Amino acid sequence: MIPLRDAIPSHSFPAATVLFIGLNVLAFFYELSLGQMLDVFIMRYGAVPLRFILSGQTEQVSTVERFLPLFTSMFLHGGWLHLGGNMLYLWIFGDNVEDRLGHIRFLLFYLACGLAAALTQIYVHPTSKIPMVGASGAVAGVLGAYLVLFPHSRVLALIPIIFFFQVVELPAFLFLVFWFLMQFLNGAVSITGAPYMTGGVAWWAHIGGFASGVALGFLLQKRKRQLWT
């Protein structure tokens, strides 16, 4: 399913959402400029689970060097479709979550979800030598928060039906729960040790990001309600 727009209008300019989209696009164009050096760059600034685990067992790597790739990897992508898909989801769902949380809290929320996503993937596949890149984990956190904050919203989506596409308006709850179930099913397959069956996607990063977004969404929603009483 490809989201086209949601039904909730934003009441403020989504500055942090636009900032994140801009940074991701700029980082991708920088990747394109690297040519043959791209693989070295990705290995250095992508989040490699085994390297993260091993660096925690030695004194040769500083805390900054160990954790920096967990953040830089959020802004790197493996291709145009990877970038475009993540930015589309971020644009459609991010402005409303930012509108509810505020610019600064949304910025911190986004980074926290991205960090939780990377750590979840590392926990599930600690021996992987494949670098993780992409904003998918952080964006998944945005989807989780949207589910909590706007459960009655609706999403206009493009749905493939055999050889055709149909534009359908769906409840946001149904759209997001279906999205999460697809990530979970693929993540369950990845645990079986058959990575070729899951396309090399860091499914557990999506799951961890979404779960952290739901948890933080409930926490921030509860805190806001308390301020109103």
Identify the band that residue 225 occupies on the pLDDT scale cut at 50, 70 and 90: low
pLDDT band at 226 (very low <50, low <70, confident <90, very high): low
Question: Active site residue: 73, 77, 153, 206, which one?
Answer: 206
Number of domains in the chain: 1
- 206 catalytic per annotation: yes
SS3 202: coil
Structure tokens, 51: 């390297």
What are the Cα distances from residue 169, in Å, to 48, 90, 93, 117, 157?
39, 19, 15, 29, 6
Q: Is the pTM of this model over 0.85?
A: yes
- C-alpha distance from residue 48 to each of 104, 131, 134, 148, 168 (Å): 29, 4, 13, 31, 39
Retrieve residue 4's tokens: 């086209």
The pLDDT score that the predictor gives to residue 197 is 42
Q: What is the pLDDT of residue 198?
A: 43
pLDDT digits (tens, 9 = 90+) for 119-170: 999 999 998 899 999 999 999 999 999 999 999 999 999 888 777 888 999 9
Residue 135 per-residue DSSP state = S
- 55, 73, 128, 136: the catalytic one is 136
Quick: pLDDT tens for 3-17: 999 999 888 999 999
Per-residue tokens: 193: 């040790």
pLDDT by residue (tens digit) across 55-111? Answer: 877 657 788 888 999 999 999 999 999 999 999 999 999 999 999 999 999 999 999
More confident residue, 98 or 228: 98
Q: What CATH number is associated with residue 26? A: 1.20.1540.10
- Between 98 and 225, where is the model more confident? 98
The per-residue pLDDT for 188 is 87
By the 8 A CB rule, do 77 and 31 touch?
yes
Does the pLDDT of residue 19 top 90, yes or no? yes
The reply to whether 152 belongs to the active site is no
Domain that holds residue 116: 2-228
